[in-house]
Amino acid sequence: MKYVDGYVIPVPKKNIKAYQKMASMAGKIWIEHGALDYKECVAEDMSAKHCPPFTKLLKTKPSETVVFSYIVFKSRAHRNKVNMKVMKDPRLAVWATKKMPFDLKKMSYGGFTTLVDMEKK
């Protein structure tokens, strides 16, 4: 089974284009270093009635939206190897000098083992 790093991030709506640019660069770097899949998804329907939507759990402001992201790896060990290479990639240094398009303190992250893995062939 695969291993997944998942993120949920409140992002100011006005910063979505900047976030998309940053995420596109990050995705290229993760894929180049061995990640199997990289997805960044912006909230479109947060009207769930049967359970709290991400916006409620994250206590987003009306000016914010939610980004749900995940990166897929072969295993946790593979994730660790890929992430080590990614963190050493000099292209990430550009972010150290720029203001992030979201508040890092509000970002949620976790590593997950895959429980069910299906896709249409």
Q: If you write DSSP's letter for every residue of 62-111 in order, what string do you get?
A: TTEEEEEEEEEESSHHHHHHHHHHHHH-GGGGGGGGS--SS-GGG-EEEE
HSE-up (13 A, CA, CB side) for residue 25: 12
Q: 3-98 has which CATH code? A: 3.30.70.100
Report the pLDDT value the prediction gives residue 99, as an integer from 0 to 100.
84
Output the pTM of the full model: 0.92
Report the pLDDT value the prediction gives residue 48, as an integer from 0 to 100.
82
pLDDT in tens, the chain (121 residues): 899 999 999 999 999 999 999 999 999 999 999 999 999 999 999 998 899 999 999 999 999 999 999 999 999 999 999 999 999 999 988 877 778 999 989 999 999 999 999 989 8
Domain range annotation of the chain: 3-98
Local structure of residue 34 (DSSP, 8 states): T
How many angstroms separate the CA atoms of 47 and 24, rounded? 27
Report the pLDDT value the prediction gives residue 49, as an integer from 0 to 100.
85
**CB atoms inside a 10 Å sphere around CB 30:** 22
